[in-house]
Structure 1
Amino acid sequence: MKPANAHLQLNKAHFPVTVLGPGQRIGLWLQGCSIGCKGCVSVDTWERDPQRTVAISSLLTWCKQVAGSGLDGVTISGGEPFDQPEGLRHLLQALRLWRSQARLDFDILCYSGYPLKTLQQRHARLLALLDALIPEPFIDSQSGVLWRGSSNQPLVPLSPLGQQRYAAFVCAPLQEEDKRMQVAVEGGRVWMIGIPARGDMTRIEALCRSRGLTLEQVSWRR
């Protein structure tokens, strides 16, 4: 695939995201996940969907338009980003080129449900394009830590910038002020962004129902 024709399947994109990494960030959720962790709150991102295919050049243009000068980082999640390795590579290369040419210092953080060793063995070249990684499958029975859904998931700095931004958070406990979710409304849809505590989504659904609101096509159920 030539860079000019590079594409990937995208579930959604949002700015600013303030609950998935430090500072104000662009959030990109890729479409398609072959892992399917039990208890995942983003079940809507599991199925591959050709209708969600976007050109990376168009996605990069959108990133430049929304970010302005207030961009601290880009967080890539899903779905499973590493299920689209070629598209992910072109996206990361495009982001790094933009960062270099515009003399910006935003970091790139990526989530994955694959074990760290698997990613190191199969996708070392992709890891070299990241500043930080949160790998390992989500385990519903384990409590969450900062920016992570379960405590088995490490925060792995991968570059000097990643060390600078994330070293202090590798073993950071989850503080009360960190237990935040964002709500975004777009096109008649409500998005919850962040890492919910166990039972949060069920409680939110029950609260809405008690006030006469019905949530349809929720992302945490198939």
Structure 2
Amino acid sequence: MSELLLAKAHYPVTTLGPGRRAGIWTQGCTLHCPGCLSRDTWDADPDTAIPVPAVLGWLRSLDRVDGVTISGGEPFQQPEALRELLLGIRAWAPPEVDVLVYSGYASSRLRGSAWSRELLALCDAVVTGPYIDRLNSPDSGHLWRGSANQRIIPVSELGRKRYGDAEGGETRPHMQISVEADRVYYIGIPRRGDMERLTERLSLSGVHGGEVSWRP
């Protein structure tokens, strides 16, 4: 049994793939892309470790799941836990539930080793490539990608059906706001300047933030 360094799990997620999804964010990433929205997931904090079966139990408790999105952090930096998680999802999920995994590694690197190819084969689609801030345009149509260099790569037939056609034909990304305890979470793919605008709107509504994960 593996343990996964887990930053967050949330349902429903409607901004990182089609339909109502379960979102899983891993903790720990050494890529440190400048402008990353999720700087709080960089440190591989051992206190965030959770048994993979506990994550799978949470998934099984959910109703009407159209897909599972795994992001981070960098999921591929926890290969053993990611493999156990993906195998568990495949054992639990009906055929129509797709798995989308985000990685900051280029697809050539992910396909360059046997262990990562094994992980890719358990996905329906992957979003690959580092986030590059200057390639995040306010008027871009990158619905499920942060910057223009990133690629959505369908892996399975279901992946080709759901992710192979211009990101669903939509042109504008969406953001969710989740408030849990004393924290506000932004879920989705913001365009440049969106975070400042969202924070300002929340402040005008009486929700005032302190430290944020998306500024150095």
* TM-score of the aligned structures, taking structure 1 as reference length: 0.89
Which of these residues, 120, 135, 157, is aligned with residue 160 of structure 1? 157
Name the residue aligned to 1:113.
104
- Which of residues 3, 10, 15 in structure 1 aligns to 2:6? 10
State how many pairs are aligned: 210
TM-score (norm 2): 0.91
User: Which secondary structure state, in structure 2, belongs to the residue aligned with residue 13 of structure 1?
Assistant: strand
Q: Do residues 94 (structure 1) and 88 (structure 2) align? A: yes
CA shift for structure 1 position 211 = 5.9
Instruction: Decide which of 129, 132, 157 is 2:125's aligned counterpart.
Output: 132
3-state secondary structure, aligned to 1:198: coil
Q: Which amino acid aligns with 2:154?
A: P
CA distance in structure 2 between the partners assigned to 1:115 and 1:181 by the alignment: 25
SS in structure 1 at match of 2:210: coil
Deviations 1:41-100 (A, max 9, x none): 11000011111001110110111112x2x111000000110111111111001100112x
The 1-side partners of 2:199 and 2:100 are apart by 30
Unaligned runs of 5+ in 1: none
| Mean Cα deviation higher: 199-208 or 10-19 | 199-208
**Aligned counterpart in structure 2 of residue 181 of structure 1, from 175, 198, 206:** 175
Report deviation, 1:8.
Answer: 0.7
Residue 141 of structure 1 aligns to a residue in which SS? Answer: helix
Which residue number corresponds to residue 197 of structure 1? Answer: 191
Match of 1:60 in 2: 56
Distance 1:165 1:156 in 2: 11
Call closer, same or farther: CA 1:182–1:212 in 2, change over 3 Å: closer
Match of 1:41 among 28, 37, 42: 37
Question: Shift of the alpha carbon at 1:146?
Answer: 1.4
Q: Indicate whether 1:147 and 2:144 are aligned.
A: yes
Q: Residue 79 of structure 1 aligns with which residue?
A: 73
Pairwise CA distance, 1:153: 0.7
Secondary structure, counterpart of 1:126 in structure 2: helix
d(CA) in 1 for partners of 2:162 and 2:202?
Answer: 37
Q: Aligned letter for 1:14?
A: H
Query: Any residues of structure 2 matched to 1:18-33 within 5 Å, and which?
Result: 18-33=14-29
What is the CA–CA distance in structure 2 between the aligned matches of 1:216 and 1:107, rounded to whole Å? 36
Q: 2 CA distance for matches of 1:209 and 1:24?
A: 28
Whichever residue aligns with residue 152 of structure 1, its letter is N
1:28 aligned counterpart, secondary structure: strand
Cα distance, 1:207 vs structure 2: 4.0
Equivalent position amino acid for 1:149 in 2: G
What is the percent sequence identity of the aligned residues?
Answer: 47
